[in-house]
Amino acid sequence: MHPSKPDPSKPPHGHTPQSTAARPIEELADGFSHNFKPLSPLDVTRTRTVSDLLDAMSRTAFSGRSLGEAAEIMVQMAGDTKCLVIGTFSGAMTIAKQGLMIAEMIDQGLIHAVVSTGALMCHGLIEQSGHTHFRHDPNWSDEKLYDAGYCRVYDTLELERNLEEAAAIMERVLAEIPDGSTLGSHELNWRIGEQVLRQGQSRGILQSAFQKQVPVYVPGFTDSELGLDVYCHNILAHEAGRKGIHVDLLRDIDDYYQRCAGAERLGIFTIGGGVPRNWAQQVGPLGEILERRTDGRHGKYIRFHYAIRICPEPVHWGGLSGCTYSEGVSWGKFVSEKEGGRHAEVYADATVAWPILLRGVLERLGRV
């Protein structure tokens, strides 16, 4: 038996047809009566500070509005003394000369833990220990760059010489660790920061992290020059009859979980996505898994209340970098906006949006 076809002369179910006569203008909605928020033209001549600019942008549209809203959330998050804020960073942010903003956020207490890629920390270590990155000349081919000892990251050059200097710093750090020791990546990163401080370099991510005792977790530690340096150290140690050093990333999970579980509220500030973002966010599901699998002896309900993300990745590629916070609610990672969660997602290049956001927030907090 075939289903009956819809009668085109009848309106769809639940739809009330409108009169074919034009409605009087006074019957048309005016926006205000439905409590929609009005927008305002952006007049840059009336914005005296970056904070003013962000405030004006919050009443515009698209990513400009999102950036303005992110500033509001970031200020609220900074003022919430019961909130533990996690900063997650991926992409080539340090080779792109954005590393001091991470250091500033640590120094200003805007983030209380860092989750990062190993490459970001390695390139940051190079900069923080007094070495230089260079602008790429497109007249140089990649083959020519390789032969000369340059490594290209889009429009910027890392030097093989720099990487060897970083390896020398790492060797000094590892030489002070007793053979057979086991450390998490955050414990090793503190030792690196301490070493660079002793060398007289006072400004940088790992230096600030050591001084403030802010953990820097690198979940993909072996996916970096720093991880390769440890591996090479251990090869040479074994040849000399020593035990070498073990980096146990489960120590990072334990330390991170305990910090998050002990906080009344959580916030997250994310640049990019990838492993750092997922590793940090999975603490919510981890709390549920622990509670379920230990019959309540361990684990608890953990969700991020505040969330800010700057990343140009669109949703439709399906990767975590483009995953919305709404989608994260379905995984038990975030408090939904209906329940009071505050989220801002800025689809923009972090090297453009992040400096504006941070400067404006520091102005509002009276810290510049």
Tens digits of residue pLDDT in 314-337: 999 988 889 999 999 999 999 999
Beta bridge partners of 86: 113, 268
Taken as a whole, the chain contains a residue count of 368
Output phi, psi for 337, to 5 deg: -65, -30
Give the domains, in start order, of the chain with CATH numbers: 49-55+62-82+264-362 (no CATH), 118-259 (3.40.910.10)
| pLDDT tens for each residue of 224-242 | 999 999 999 999 999 999 9
pTM of the model: 0.93
Q: Which residues contact 65 (CB under 8 A, 6 or more apart)?
A: 57, 58, 59
Q: How far apart are CA 64 and CA 66, in angstroms?
A: 5
Least confident of 17-31, 55-69, 172-186, 339-353: 17-31
* Strand ranges in the chain using DSSP code E only, listed in sequence order: 83-89, 113-116, 134-135, 150-153, 156-159, 182-183, 216-217, 246-247, 265-271, 306-310, 342-346
Do residues 101 and 358 lie in contact, with contact meaning Cβ atoms separated by under 8 Å?
yes
| pLDDT tens for each residue of 208-218 | 999 999 999 99
Locate all alpha helices (DSSP H) within 109-214, ordered by sequence: 118-128, 142-148, 160-175, 185-198, 205-212
Q: Residue range 136-151: average pLDDT?
A: 98
Query: Would you place residue 299 in the very low, low, confident or very high pLDDT band (cuts 50, 70, 90)?
Result: very high
Round the average pLDDT of the chain to a whole number and report it. 94
Tokens 């003022």 found at: 79
Of the candidates 202, 127, 201, the residue with the CA atom closest to the CA atom of residue 162: 127
